[in-house]
Structure 1
Amino acid sequence: MHVSSAISVYCWLTLSIMRFYAVKCPIKYRLMWKEPQMALIGVVLACATLESWILVTVKYFQHSCDDSSDKPLLATFFHLSDLILMLIIPSLARLILDMTVFISVYFSLPGNSFTKNNKSTISTLDSLELRIKRMSCVETNLELKGADLQINETFVIRSDKYAKNRNSIFFRAIIISAINLMLNMPAILQRFLVTIDYGHNQNAILDALGSHYENIAQLLYFSQFACNALYLSTTIYETMGQGSAI
């Protein structure tokens, strides 16, 4: 469960990074091919490796697992490190990236994201035309001059209609990401309170908050996985059909 939870959190962080990259470097973003797949493989391997501490501090009992009672400080250290590295840091990074995307899309002048640095050099004319068609976010005017076949790229910003559609897709993705983050917060708080209370009077703080807090936190935590389906059905599939996946 720890590994799958960490993978889920970092996959959502990867989506936030891709949205940020799509806004700041739209042309380079369109030219990505294997990078997302490699990022996913890296996330899975890294999370599985970093969560291997469970094999050291957790012992199996009949029909259950629990922390080793002879290593309370070590268990607390690993739990707190896992909480910070696998939940708190990526959640804060998602919040910062999504806020940056929101501000860039809705509070910047049109066309600010199309900078000179985004006009990447492409080796052949056919490759350029294919990428531009699939991207469908700019129009290009190519002039072939003599034997040098020099290419001049003229980028024209999309119409207001397309810009509004693009902005709505970004906004929808950010809302779903924010909902997912909020549903995770109670479980993160619960784990933090249990960790800092470990070895003293475990669950005393949670008991003070109310006996139903843990149940509510777990319900919200597992409900957040519905955001995966919501994101796929309302963002990924739609934008793939338009050639502008986020």
Structure 2
Amino acid sequence: MAAADLCSLLLILSQNLMQLYPQLGSDEVLMHYVCKAVLFLTHTVTGISVWSWLLLSTLRYLAIRHPLFHLQLWQMPYRALSFIIIVSLALNAWLLLAVHSTQFGCIQQALFRSLTWNRLFHIVECAWSFCVPCLLIFVMDISVLIKSTMGSCDTGLLQIFSAQKRSEQTFEPPIIACVYSRSNQTLIRHKHSRTLWRWLAIALICIILNTPENMYRLVILFGMPDVHEEALHFSARMLAQALYFSQFAFNAVYLALFVFDKSTRPKSYFEHSAGRNSMPAVQLSKYGKEYSEKVNGLTAV
């Protein structure tokens, strides 16, 4: 997502430079291919960026609603990202045919001798890059929010201890005991809730920043009545673009604060600490059995 945002900014900057300095396009043949590549890649990486948000929401949804299935996911995010890139490239491939270069900049010519096809492809691309992912993000995040407010079994607060089988002849299930610590339970629940609300707020803000510009595009594509460049219309257009570009700054801030803010200590340090503080499985099983016996004794009393 960060790479897609960076590429999008660089491509938009290159388009503006080509319009501000027409002398850069002295070679018509070169500019012909540059225009095709720039517009094609701009639309492609924009869709990839929004779908990356959907991928994060999907992983968050699976972690909350289907935690056991979420633990089995290994290559799914990479495969999903590959699928997103391939589909985005395919849906924007028509731009390689429609975009041409002129002395005034890059323009789109009628595809198959009709602008209706251009409009249709733009609607499909807008639905793919904004409508579908935003709708799915909204549904998944609402489901996660409802699940978190209703409460569930605090699996993150349980330490599961399994005892070894006594013999292969007896089909005795492993002993599982749950150890609760009220203070730790409260702290961890508070931390998880704060983290969840933080990411839900970030997703909501990014959707809000993307919505005005994409809604303006949809209104244009579906046929907005002729509007003169009055002050209100011009101000609304500028506000939509300002919100759209502000998402890049917002993404950079939260990536720097919440994602890339990690410890610089080597991995061996954490492995050594984990090995020093870990307990053998047999000993954990023994403690789990003793705890379950104490709990049963208190219940009987």
- Secondary structure, aligned partner of 1:212: helix
Residue pair 2:47, 2:128 contacting (<8 A) in 1 also: no
Alignment of 1:1-246 (within 5 A): 1-62=42-103, 64-69=105-110, 70-106=113-149, 108-111=150-153, 138-148=158-168, 151-154=174-177, 159-197=185-223, 201=226, 204=227, 209-237=232-260
How far apart in 2 are the matches of 1:238 and 1:110?
Answer: 30
TM-score by length of 1: 0.75
Secondary structure of 1:140 counterpart = coil
Secondary structure at the counterpart of residue 33 of structure 1: coil
Do 1:173 and 1:231's aligned partners in 2 also have CA atoms closer than 8 Å?
no
Structure 1 gaps of 5+ residues are 115-135, 242-246
Query: Residue in 2 aligned with 1:123?
Result: none
Change in Cα spacing, 1:27 to 1:146, as seen in structure 2 (3 Å) is same
Does the 8 A contact of 1:169 with 1:235 survive in 2? Answer: no
Spell out, residue by residue over 1:81-123, the C-alpha distance to the aligned partner (whole angstroms, 9 max, x if none).
11122211111111111111111112x1342x86xxxxxxxxx
CA contact (8 A) 2:158 2:178 kept: yes
1:160 Cα shift?
2.0
Deviations 1:106-149 (A, max 9, x none): 2x1342x86xxxxxxxxxxxxxxxxxxxxx65411111013549
State the Cα deviation string for residues 145-198 of structure 1 (Å, max 9, x = none).
135496455556771210111111110000000000000011011111221238
Bigger Rg over Cα: 2
Number of residues paired by the alignment? 215
Distance between the aligned counterparts of 1:62 and 1:231, measured in 2? 40
Which residue identity is paired with 1:109?
G
TM-score by length of 2: 0.63
Q: Higher RCO, 1 or 2 (CA under 8 Å, sep at least 6)?
A: 1
Q: Residue 197 of structure 1 contacts residue 205 of structure 1 at CA under 8 Å; is this kept in 2?
A: no
Q: Which amino acid aligns with 2:159?
A: E
Identify if the C-alpha distance between structure 1 residues 240 and 175 changes in structure 2 by more than 3 Å, giving closer, same or farther: farther
2:195 and 2:177 mapped to 1: Cα distance?
26
Would you tell me which structure has more helix in proportion to its own residues?
2
For the residue of structure 2 that corresponds to 1:85, the secondary structure is: helix
CA RMSD of aligned residues (A): 2.9
1:172, 1:235 within 8 Å by CA — same for their partners in 2?
Answer: no
1:47 Cα shift?
1.2
Partner of 2:33: none
